[in-house]
Amino acid sequence: MPAFGKASKRRLATCHKDLQLLFNEVIRERDCAVLCGHRIEIEQDGAYQSGKSRVMWPDSKHNKKPSMAVDVVPHPIDWDDIDRFNEFADFVKGKAESMDIRVKWGGDFKSFYDGPHWELA
């Protein structure tokens, strides 16, 4: 059974309890890594400047405490494999529905494809 590494666990711990519950279930069946939970101001503005986020502090759901958003990628990471992101997203959506947790996936954003991004609806 896959399990989160130390860094993933630490990042997930900064997130809302529902995101923790969801991804602690997901990891049992799908290997994945948590890239980002809560972002402090300097991290948010860095993400904005590098194009990973479209908003500056404090407007991201990653800036709430606990974080209302989490970035998770299927492991091992292949940024070019969009099919794999989509397949992983379908799995996470199904799991969220079965747990009665309402989430939005960044891959469904109209303006900006954000494949790793999940936020509470």
| Chain contacts with Zn ion (rule: CB under 5 A) | 69, 71, 117
Q: How far is the CB of 1 from Zn ion (least distance, A)?
A: 26
CA distance 34 to 23: 9
Q: Which residue has its beta carbon closest to Zn ion?
A: 117
CA distance 63 to 39: 5
Q: Which is nearer to Zn ion, 28 or 54 (CB)?
A: 54
Q: How far is the CB of 84 from Zn ion (least distance, A)?
A: 18
Taken in order 116, 112, 47, 15, the sign of the CA dihedral is negative
Looking up tokens 């602690």 gives 24
From the centroid of its chain, how far is CA 86? 13
Q: How far is the CB of 87 from Zn ion (least distance, A)?
A: 19
Q: Which is nearer to Zn ion, 1 or 17 (CB)?
A: 17
Q: Which is nearer to Zn ion, 1 or 92 (CB)?
A: 92
Q: How far is the CB of 53 from Zn ion (least distance, A)?
A: 7
Q: Which is nearer to Zn ion, 27 or 120 (CB)?
A: 120
CA distance 84 to 31: 12
